[in-house]
């Protein structure tokens, strides 16, 4: 995981200003312990003495995704959540009930990419894969309870 100073340095290398609101947002992002939404981050930031504006938060989140600090995780409902980007190539499994996100490694899409190149003539430079399902916790919570000896 990148340190705050490395992220701010990367922003400077791109010719972007490292403002106090950006510093606060980066610090807050790095303190997250799992997936978070922009709204959750905004709520946390509004507890600070001089919180950044809503647009600044959204633009900074987009920027952090663009430079590889964050991954944007999509949810079937259309809402986005964010997670700190891993150092290795990985994908996400997203619970369509509670929004939990789990990383998984492995990506055997070489045949699919070769077929896409062959059929379209595109030069493929990346891909994005997220799987949606129901996590073990939600499965267990929605499982019917059985009474002893088949009693209702």
Tell me: is residue 89 an annotated ligand-binding position. yes
φ, ψ for residue 113 (rounded to 5)?
A: -65, -45
Tell me: is residue 107 an annotated ligand-binding position. no
Tell me: is residue 98 an annotated ligand-binding position. yes
Query: Which tokens sit at 40?
Result: 């959750």
Q: What is the CA radius of gyration of the chain?
A: 20
**Residue whose tokens read 């001089």:** 50
Query: Which tokens sit at 150?
Result: 């088949």
Helix or strand (DSSP H, E) at 59: helix 54-66
- Please name every residue paired with 73 in a beta bridge, in sequence order, or none if there are none: 81
Which among 94, 90, 97, 89 is positioned nearest to 35, based on CA atoms? 94
Tell me: is residue 39 an annotated ligand-binding position. no
**Binding-site sequence positions for Zn(2+):** 95, 98, 135, 138
**Binding-site sequence positions for Fe cation:** 89, 110, 127
């Amino acid at each position: 995981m990148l340190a705050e100073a490395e992220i701010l340095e990367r922003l400077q290398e791109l010719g972007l200003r490292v403002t106090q609101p950006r510093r606060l947002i980066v610090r807050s992002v790095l303190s997250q312990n799992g997936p978070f939404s922009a709204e959750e981050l905004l709520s946390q930031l509004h507890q600070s003495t001089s919180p950044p504006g809503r647009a600044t938060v959204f633009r900074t989140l987009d920027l952090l995704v663009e430079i590889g600090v964050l991954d944007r995780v999509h949810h079937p409902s259309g809402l986005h959540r964010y997670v700190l980007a891993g150092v290795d190539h990985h994908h996400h499994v997203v619970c369509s009930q509670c929004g939990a996100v789990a990383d998984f490694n492995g990506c055997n899409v070489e045949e699919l990419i070769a077929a896409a190149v062959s059929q379209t003539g595109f030069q493929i430079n990346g891909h994005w894969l997220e799987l949606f399902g129901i996590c073990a916790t939600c499965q267990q919570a929605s499982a019917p309870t059985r009474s002893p000896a088949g009693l209702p």
